[in-house]
Structure formats: C-alpha cells, structure tokens
C-alpha cells in the first residue's frame, strides 16, 4: 500500500497540473439573437482548412488544423485566425482574433436571421380587367 502511494505521488510530481489540463484548442458557442443555441452551424477556421458543425448546444471545439494534403496538424501558435460561422437562413458572421496558445474560449457569436424585402406588385392580374381575350390560356385539340 505504501509503495502504491509513493508511486502515485511520484507520478503527480512528475506531471505538473497545467500539463495535464493544457490543451491547444479554440472553442465557443453560436447563438441566435434570442440567446438560443444554433445547432448545425458551419464553423470555418482560416488559415487551416478546418470545417465543422456546432452541436445541439451550439458549441464547437477546434483542436487541430489540416494541411494541404488533408493531414491533421497542431494549431499554429501566435497566429491571427479568422473564424466564420454560416447557417442557411442567417447572415454569415466572421471574427478575426489572435491565438497565442492553450485553450481559448471565445465570446458567444450571435447569428442574425436573414430578412428579405418584399415589394408590392402593382400589376393587375384580374382577367376581367382585360377586354382583349383573343389569346388562349390553354391548348386546343382541333382535328381530333
């Protein structure tokens, strides 16, 4: 028992606490303007060729990049990255930030719904308003 305790203490002292907890990663959460999580939003990190989607709680975690061959590589440290969030029905949001090292949890990114302008159509579509009804609206079957 004493031997096991000494071995456990030696292992704890050999690995500092920050080494066990440190992980190079960039994470965050995507919400809509009402504060609800936006799931399945597409997250793109550049440079780095990484695309992933948010989970049901709107969260994401990027702990690797991809090189030109598609192989996973570590996050580059002391680099400016651009994070872009896209989901159909929402405006695309982008944020540029400096990543030093370790874990970086970003502020919530808020997506705003797309809106479209609909203009009234001044065209008169009532057939009763047209006196010239010489054109057919359907096919004729003459000779059958």
Annotated domain spans of the chain: 22-115
Which residue, chain included where needed, has tokens 């690995």?
A: 15
- Tens-place pLDDT, residues 6-63: 434 443 444 333 333 448 899 999 999 999 999 999 999 988 888 999 999 999 999 9
CA proximity to 42, closest of 100, 102, 104, 84: 84
Distance CA 26, CA 72 (A): 15
User: Which runs of E-coded beta strand occur in 1-70?
Assistant: 25-32, 42-46, 50-53, 59-62, 65-66
Reported as a single tens digit per residue, the pLDDT across 113-143 is 987 767 777 776 776 776 666 655 555 556 5
Query: Structurally, what CATH architecture does the domain formed by 22-115 represent?
Result: Sandwich (2.60)
What pLDDT, in 10s, does the model give residues 86-101? Answer: 999 999 999 999 999 8
């Amino acid at each position: 028992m004493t031997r096991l305790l000494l071995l456990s203490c030696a292992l704890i002292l050999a690995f500092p606490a920050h080494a066990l907890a440190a992980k190079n990663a960039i994470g965050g959460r995507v919400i809509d303007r009402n504060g609800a999580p936006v799931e399945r939003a597409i997250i793109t990190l550049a440079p780095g060729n990484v695309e992933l989607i948010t989970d049901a709680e709107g969260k994401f975690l990027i702990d690797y990049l991809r090189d030109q061959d598609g192989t996973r590589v570590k996050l580059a440290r002391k680099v400016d990255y651009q994070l872009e969030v896209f989901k159909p029905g929402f405006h695309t949001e982008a944020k540029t930030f400096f990543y030093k090292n370790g874990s970086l949890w970003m502020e919530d990114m808020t997506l705003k719904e797309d809106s479209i302008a609909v203009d009234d159509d001044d065209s008169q579509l009532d057939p009763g308003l047209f006196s010239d009804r010489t054109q057919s609206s359907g096919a004729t079957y003459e000779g059958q």
